[in-house]
Amino acid sequence: NGLKGKLGKPADLDWITKSTSTPLQTGESAFKVTFDWDEEIGTPGAFLITNNHDNEFYLKSLTLNGVPGQDVIHFVCNSWIYPAKKYENVRVFFSNKV
């Protein structure tokens, strides 16, 4: 993969249909995503995202729970994710850990 780092398998978002531990504000939505990765790759330090829908959406944050050896990894995003058909590269976000 050149100098791009090691990648895990792609994952899809699912709507969360029950209440979450974090209360949502008016106009916010929550999604559930399950990542599968090889522990030999190491702890996730970033994630790539591609929006395959026709409309952009605002991604506030991503939190991974139950990460072995880390428990929780939080990614602060605060960014619009535009449809993939409008740009060539995927978006990358890094965790809040050095």
DSSP per-residue codes, the chain: -TTS--------EEE--S--SSPPPTT---EEE-----GGG-S--EEEE-B-SSS-EEEEEEEEEEETTTEEEEEEEEEEE-BGGG-SS-EEEE-S--
Mean pLDDT of 50-57: 85
Check pLDDT > 90 for residue 6: no
Domain ranges of the chain: 53-92
Q: What is the pLDDT of residue 20?
A: 55
Percent share of the chain, pLDDT over 70:
84
Q: What is the pLDDT of residue 1?
A: 54
pLDDT tens digits for 9-18?
777 766 554 5
